[in-house]
Amino acid sequence: MTDNAARVAIVTGAARGIGAATALRLAADGHAVAVLDLQEEAGKETVAAIEAAGGRALAVGADVGDEAAAAGAVERVAAELGAPTILVNNAGVTRDNLLFKMDVSDWDTVMGVHLRGSFLMSRAVQQHMVAAKWGRIVNISSTSALGNRGQVNYSTAKAGLQGFTKTLAIELGKFGITANCVAPGFIVSDMTKATAERIGQDWDTYVEARAKAIPVARAGVPEDIANAVSFFTDERAGFVSGQVIYVAGGPKA
């Protein structure tokens, strides 16, 4: 743990992948962590790992795109762990397809989780941050925000999160709250495995090809993103707000 004060953090989509790695990292930083995912049961493995390392954690099931569910989840966290002052909006889904093949439901689903979900969670948590005169919001974007074939919905949502982040930074800064954005590049995860399947490529071959195009010559792992989130939530990052950092192994997507 750094010289951070112990806080209560909420990480959405924290049952696996980047969310789970982030929850574990924030717990290692000394924070109590609410592991929020669509189903409470799905988050219990992450909670068990945090508790095994001596941390405090709580599994919470909620659809972040549902207004009542998002508000209820935050209320439960406040009651059982304490008032949350760190929020990581990581929950996400993909419904990839080319524009002319994309259903309206695929567009709406992606917008509902990434944008509506981040809005609802941030709105519910900010009251606790304002009361504490301290807060950290980190939104997980993507290099897909720069454009990516077959992901018109996902790319739009991830670009929208960057504008959302910058506006939160402007509105909430006077309350001691920062808002920043981490945009992962190619990360080994279930989501990128699904992309390889969608385009009909062998997973190992796909990873090798992607890694060759990355300046640091390797694929990213969830812990790479968790480390960046840890920086933004640190006590010492209080003068960094409204920023987007691409954690992609190089300057390009």
**pLDDT of the chain along its 253 residues, tens only?**
345 789 999 999 999 999 999 999 999 999 999 999 999 999 999 999 999 999 999 999 999 999 999 999 999 999 999 999 999 999 999 999 999 999 999 999 999 999 999 999 999 999 999 999 999 999 999 999 999 999 999 999 999 999 999 999 999 999 999 999 999 999 998 888 888 888 899 999 999 999 999 999 999 999 999 999 999 999 999 999 999 999 999 987 5
Q: How much is the pLDDT for 192?
A: 86
Work out how many domains the chain is built from and give that number: 2
Residues near 134 by beta carbon (within 8 Å), at least 6 away in sequence: 85, 176, 177
The active-site residue out of 107, 134, 154, 164 is: 154
The whole-angstrom separation of Cα 3 and Cα 23 is: 18
- The verdict on residue 253 lying in a domain is no
Pair of tokens at residue 211:
């890694």
Residues 138 and 171 in one domain: yes
Residues 91 and 176 in one domain: yes
- The verdict on residue 203 lying in a domain is yes
Q: Which amino acid is at 253?
A: A
Residues 106 and 205 in one domain: no
Distances (CA, A) of 160 to 114, 144, 165, 175, 191: 9, 11, 9, 23, 20
Residues 129 and 195 in one domain: no
- The verdict on residue 141 lying in a domain is yes
**Radius of gyration for the chain, computed over Cα atoms and rounded to the nearest angstrom:** 17
Residues 108 and 207 in one domain: no
- The verdict on residue 252 lying in a domain is no
Which range of residues forms the domain containing residue 209? Answer: 188-219
Residues 208 and 237 in one domain: no
Residues 181 and 192 in one domain: no
b/e sequence 206-223, b meaning 16+ C-beta within 10 Å: bbeebbeebeeeebbebe
Residues 126 and 137 in one domain: yes
- The verdict on residue 152 lying in a domain is yes
- The verdict on residue 2 lying in a domain is no
Q: What is the pTM of this model?
A: 0.96
State yes or no: is 154 an active-site residue: yes
Query: What is the domain-level CATH number for residue 109?
Result: 3.40.50.720
Residues 200 and 96 in one domain: no
Residues 195 and 206 in one domain: yes
Q: How much is the pLDDT for 3?
A: 56
